């Protein structure tokens, strides 16, 4: 191989290496900035093939996929000064690569630390405005929505990232108060049980009183009907007796005396002390009368 051919080969190789080092690709899942002697000259490189000057320009690429920031369990105070242990997380991604690089030097750890401090401050503020019931169920959605909006606005301006969602995974009571809360809840349930039992007894007494009243009314009505029937029967009997007496007074008097004798002498142990000449024994003395 001649010297000219060797020189040409070297030139081709050098040019090929230069061209190779001058081209770079930004993926769809990445965001990138181009630096020239440490200064940003291309703030937001779009995905695709790009060109740079070797040894003059440098490219920093960042993961643009959705990131998760888990917060350690923190202790916060509610509006009524009740302590709660809160476990939350945030979902974020890079929104402005230039601002992200300037604020964090392109390090995710720095971005997580700064975002974590703002997230904890936001949670503390949101919990401090609400009661325990509101943060657990009443206004939980409104709380995380307001916190997400405020955190996203700060992160866009300061870190160049977009906060998509903030969620509270768990809200627990501190261990030192869990026992007292359990005992208070148990006492409250016992009180409610006593109230229900007392209401049940009250209702039972009312039902029994109503049943007794209905029983007395039914018995009184039955007694009234029985007395009415008895009175009607006595009236009819008296009428029959009267008719019989008017037809044959002597026979009626005799019949009534026999009934009186039967009633008086029905028991052998009964003793009567009477004058034998009294009207009661007139049919014994003169049966023909």
106 three-state secondary structure = coil
Q: Find the angle CA(136)-CA(139)-CA(140) to the nearest 5 degrees.
A: 55
Domains of the chain in sequence order: 3-63 (no CATH), 67-172 (3.30.479.30)
Distance CA 276, CA 268 (A): 19
Token pair, residue 225, equals: 């009907």
Q: What is the 3-class SS of 237-248, one letter each residue? A: HHHHHHHHHHHC
Distance CA 211, CA 223 (A): 18
- Extract the runs of DSSP E, i.e. beta strands, from 30-187: 30-36, 39-45, 48-51, 57-63, 67-70, 74-77, 83-94, 161-172
Nearest to 87 by CA among 102, 103, 63, 71: 71
Nearest to 114 by CA among 161, 146, 81: 161
Distance CA 120, CA 99 (A): 22
76 three-state secondary structure = strand
**Burial (CB count <10 Å: 0-12, 13-18, 19+), residue 116:** middle
**Burial (CB count <10 Å: 0-12, 13-18, 19+), residue 50:** middle
273 three-state secondary structure = coil
Nearest to 83 by CA among 185, 186, 176, 188: 176
Q: With beta carbons less than 8 A apart as the criterion, state whether 62 and 137 touch.
A: no
| pLDDT, one tens digit for every residue, the chain (289 residues) | 566 666 666 655 555 555 556 777 788 888 888 888 778 778 888 888 777 777 777 888 888 889 999 988 888 888 888 888 889 999 999 988 888 988 888 888 999 999 999 999 998 998 888 888 888 776 788 888 888 999 999 999 989 999 999 998 888 877 766 666 677 778 888 888 889 898 998 899 889 989 999 999 999 899 989 988 888 888 888 787 777 777 777 777 777 777 776 776 666 666 666 666 666 666 666 555 5
Q: Residue 115's pLDDT is what?
A: 92
User: pTM of the predicted model, to two decimals?
Assistant: 0.54
Question: In whole angstroms, how large is the CA radius of gyration of the chain?
Answer: 55
């Amino acid at each position: 191989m001649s010297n000219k051919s060797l020189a040409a080969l070297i030139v081709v190789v050098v040019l090929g290496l230069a061209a190779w080092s001058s081209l770079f690709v930004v993926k769809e899942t990445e965001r990138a900035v181009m630096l020239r002697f440490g200064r940003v000259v291309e703030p937001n490189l779009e995905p695709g093939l790009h060109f740079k000057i070797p040894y003059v320009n440098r490219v920093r690429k960042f993961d643009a996929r959705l990131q998760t920031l888990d917060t350690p369990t923190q202790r916060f105070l509610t509006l009524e000064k009740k302590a709660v242990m809160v476990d939350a997380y945030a979902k974020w991604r890079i929104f402005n690569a230039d601002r992200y690089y300037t604020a964090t030097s392109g390090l995710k750890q720095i971005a997580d630390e700064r975002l974590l401090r703002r997230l904890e401050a936001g949670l503390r503020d949101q919990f401090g405005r609400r009661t325990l019931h509101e943060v657990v169920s009443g206004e939980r959605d409104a709380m995380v929505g307001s916190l997400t909006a405020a955190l996203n606005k700060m992160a866009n301006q300061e870190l160049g990232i977009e906060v998509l969602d903030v969620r509270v995974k768990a809200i627990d009571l501190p261990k030192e108060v869990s026992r007292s809360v359990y005992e208070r809840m148990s006492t409250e349930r016992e009180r409610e049980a006593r109230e229900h039992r007392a209401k049940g007894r009250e209702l039972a007494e009312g039902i029994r009183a109503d049943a007794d009243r209905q029983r007395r009314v039914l018995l009184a009505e039955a007694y009234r009907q029985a007395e009415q029937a008895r009175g009607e029967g006595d009236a009819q009997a008296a009428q029959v007796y009267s008719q019989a007496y008017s037809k044959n007074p002597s026979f009626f008097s005799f019949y009534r005396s026999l009934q009186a004798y039967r009633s008086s002498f029905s028991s052998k142990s009964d003793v009567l002390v009477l004058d034998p000449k009294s009207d009661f024994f007139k049919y014994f003395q003169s049966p023909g009368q």
